[in-house]
């Protein structure tokens, strides 16, 4: 990859081609519980390199506005959230959830001046326990998102987020790279309560050289990883990638389906949203307990923050003896930090001019190409793939198929499931 191509793919600030593309999608911004009640404390939010403030007003309306006061640039994080607006704590200018200035108490009454003062603002809507925003032009906003995990009843779902200290792209690329599972996660797979016991795990561990086939879906990609079952059939793990950065991990047994949304904070940090959902049943008490304890693809956090307890400042609590005696392939504990540790180790933005891609990187290669194409075509007025809710209502699949069939056709009913259909899983 040339350096310019890497820049094109990894920069998502205002005015960049990839930034403009990301701004056409509804993206997770906050957990709903972060703004728990009317007039609760406002929150700083950094997304796509923009510094914003989120708040819930007296009437329960949600606002996401420029962090800095239109008067002289004070952070509205210091503001008073009261009587349907956020009041700057310096000279008392007050803004409503749309960013409109509604009061300038420091000046003689001047409605015109007040009206002229409007902060940049974005919509904030609640769905699936998450507050979503769409930071593009208002007249180009797509319908609300319908990813399955956000649409199932609340008892069927668990959502967490963690701060990952690197560019979104290298994090997301881990999410569509099925071949690392047999190495990086090899031991964790057999002991983690959200993974263990599935027949599919045996195939994962038996065949370390999966064959990849990648098929374009309307909203992204179906990434098929094929392994031999040992009895003349193929075990397929089919990951969903929905543009721009949503992934769904193929299920294991009856465990809930895992997925991620990789949302850029700025070019060197991202939010790793991690979801588990079951289409057919509520999560069990035991599952929820494990999820809350940071098992599966979730992670224990430093209390009061979204920074993992194991992080780059403590070398991810690397355990060299576990690495040596077989307790852990990498020595880092848990799927999420195994992933985050290797991905953050690439540096804040991986230098892709120095990489050497091989056939098992096929999913990554095609995803990059599709992102570039969508960003380029956006300039010509083409609506990006993955913005239509029908393209988001897809599911990851694990399935045994006969040899010689095209996985995307043979598994189509499972990849785009009808309402109320069971997981296709091994």
Q: Which residues bind ligand FES (CB under 6 A)?
A: 69, 71-72, 74, 88, 90-93
- The residue among 73 and 137 lying less far from ligand FES, judged by its C-beta, is 73
- The residue among 74 and 342 lying less far from ligand FES, judged by its C-beta, is 74
- The residue among 76 and 171 lying less far from Fe ion, judged by its C-beta, is 171
Task: List interacting residues with Fe ion (CB under 5 A).
Answer: 339
Return d(Cα 356, Cα 363) in angstroms, integer.
14
Whole-number minimum distance, CB 335 to Fe ion, in Å? 6
416 binds, options ligand FES, Fe ion, none, Cβ within 5 to 8 A by partner type? none
Whole-number minimum distance, CB 116 to ligand FES, in Å? 15
235 binds, options Fe ion, ligand FES, none, Cβ within 5 to 8 A by partner type? none
- The residue among 84 and 377 lying less far from ligand FES, judged by its C-beta, is 84
71 binds, options ligand FES, Fe ion, none, Cβ within 5 to 8 A by partner type? ligand FES
Whole-number minimum distance, CB 104 to ligand FES, in Å? 8
Return d(Cα 185, Cα 105) in angstroms, integer.
59
Whole-number minimum distance, CB 123 to Fe ion, in Å? 32
69 binds, options Fe ion, ligand FES, none, Cβ within 5 to 8 A by partner type? ligand FES
Whole-number minimum distance, CB 185 to Fe ion, in Å? 6
Whole-number minimum distance, CB 70 to Fe ion, in Å? 44
| 273: β partners | 161, 261
- The residue among 89 and 98 lying less far from ligand FES, judged by its C-beta, is 89
199 binds, options ligand FES, Fe ion, none, Cβ within 5 to 8 A by partner type? none
């Amino acid at each position: 990859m040339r350096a310019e191509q890497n820049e094109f793919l990894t920069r998502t600030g205002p005015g960049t081609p990839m930034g403009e593309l990301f701004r056409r999608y509804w993206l997770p911004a906050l957990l709903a519980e972060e703004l728990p009640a009317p007039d609760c404390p406002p929150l700083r939010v950094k997304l796509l390199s923009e510094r914003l403030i989120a708040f819930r007003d007296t009437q329960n309306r949600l606002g996401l506005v420029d962090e800095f006061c239109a008067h002289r640039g004070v952070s509205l994080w210091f503001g008073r959230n009261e009587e349907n607006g956020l009041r700057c704590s310096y000279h008392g200018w007050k803004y409503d959830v749309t960013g409109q200035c509604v009061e300038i108490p420091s000046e003689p009454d001047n409605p015109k001046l007040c009206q002229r003062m409007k902060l940049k603002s974005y919509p904030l809507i609640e769905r699936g326990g998450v507050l979503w925003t769409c930071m593009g032009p208002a007249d180009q906003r797509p319908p609300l998102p319908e990813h399955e995990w956000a649409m199932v009843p609340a008892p069927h779902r668990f959502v967490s987020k963690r701060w990952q200290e690197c560019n979104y792209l290298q994090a997301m690329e881990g999410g569509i790279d099925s071949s690392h599972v047999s190495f990086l996660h090899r031991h964790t797979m057999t002991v983690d309560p959200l993974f263990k016991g599935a027949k599919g795990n045996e195939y994962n561990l038996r065949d370390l050289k999966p064959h990849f086939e990648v098929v374009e879906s309307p909203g992204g990609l179906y990434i098929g990883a094929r392994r031999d079952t040992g009895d003349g059939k193929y075990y397929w793990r089919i990951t969903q990638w929905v543009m721009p950065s949503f992934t769904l991990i193929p299920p294991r047994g009856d465990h809930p389906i895992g997925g991620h949304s990789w949302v850029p904070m700025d070019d060197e940090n991202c939010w790793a949203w991690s979801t588990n959902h079951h289409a057919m049943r509520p999560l069990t008490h035991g599952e929820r307990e494990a999820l809350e304890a940071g098992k599966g693809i979730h992670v224990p956090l430093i209390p009061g923050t979204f920074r993992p307890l194991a992080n780059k400042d403590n070398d991810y609590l690397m355990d060299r003896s576990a690495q040596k005696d077989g307790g852990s392939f990498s020595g880092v504990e848990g799927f999420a930090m195994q992933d985050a540790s290797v991905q953050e180790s690439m540096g804040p933005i991986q230098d892709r001019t120095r990489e050497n891609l091989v056939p098992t990187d096929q999913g990554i290669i095609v995803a990059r190409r599709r992102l570039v194409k969508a960003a380029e075509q956006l300039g010509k007025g083409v609506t990006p793939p993955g913005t239509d809710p029908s393209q988001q209502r897809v599911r990851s699949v694990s399935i045994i198929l006969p040899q010689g069939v095209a996985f995307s056709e043979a598994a189509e009913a499972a990849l785009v499931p009808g309402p109320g259909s069971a997981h296709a899983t091994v």
